[in-house]
Amino acid sequence: MQMGDNDIVMHMMPVVVAYGLTPDITVMLRNIYRSVGTNETMMEMDNRWMDPFLMGKVKLYRRNTRAYSLGVAGFAGTTFPVLNSSSSKTYSPVLGLNASFRPGLWSFDLNNAYEWVNYNTEENQPAARQLQLNLAVSHNILVPGIENWILSPVQEFSFISDSPVTGESSSYGFISPGLQIVSPYVKFEALYQIALNSSQNTGLKNGNRLILGLRFLF
């Protein structure tokens, strides 16, 4: 990320725990640790845990056939200002819809979300409203000689429209090739996000990002 000619390099480590309350309802808790590697700007950033995010997801529609499966789910969540007492109390509520289509070994996942970024309860308004669209396409390849292991190349397309309360709106996106390795108990993911139209209304310019993930399945 850049502001003018000054670089900002951050490492974000999210920790996510998800639990299925019922076959149709899932709750998820996420927290992110931010480590600032390089900060050549005047912005104050320290290494710390960010505010936790709690989300609930509800299955709205599901159809399974021999040829394909189709599912739609709605979700809602928000951050909670519990770990940074020095700043004003802000929340970031989000509403969204997930749709998945899986014909054979292919997977198509569409995620749509609308977020009220840093909603200040004292001022009764967010810092910005953000529309997020994400499409992921993947194809499962059975690993020969290893039972129940799957290799899955992934291609993601992301679009973000940012509308701040003050200032001009902006839109940017990412094209993200990646790879997943899936076993019955663990899932490894790697994704490289290539920034498109990367300038934001805040003066920041997005750089390319590398995302690595490890999931344990119980």
Q: pLDDT tens digit string along 51-63?
A: 899 999 999 999 9
Pairing label, strands 204-205, 209-216:
unpaired
Q: What is the pTM of this model?
A: 0.84
Q: CA angle 38-41-42, nearest 5°?
A: 125
The boundaries of the domain holding residue 102 are: 2-216
Q: pLDDT digit string (tens) for 197-216?
A: 765 555 667 788 899 999 98
Identify the CATH number of the domain in which residue 145 sits.
2.40.160
Has residue 76 got a pLDDT over 60?
yes
**Rg over CA atoms, the chain:** 19
Structural domains of the chain, count: 1
Task: Give the CB-side neighbour count of residue 80, counting CA atoms within 13 A.
Answer: 9
List of E strands, 88-185: 90-91, 94-103, 106-117, 119-120, 128-139, 141-142, 150-164, 170-182
Q: pLDDT digit string (tens) for 160-195?
A: 999 988 878 889 999 999 999 999 889 999 999 999
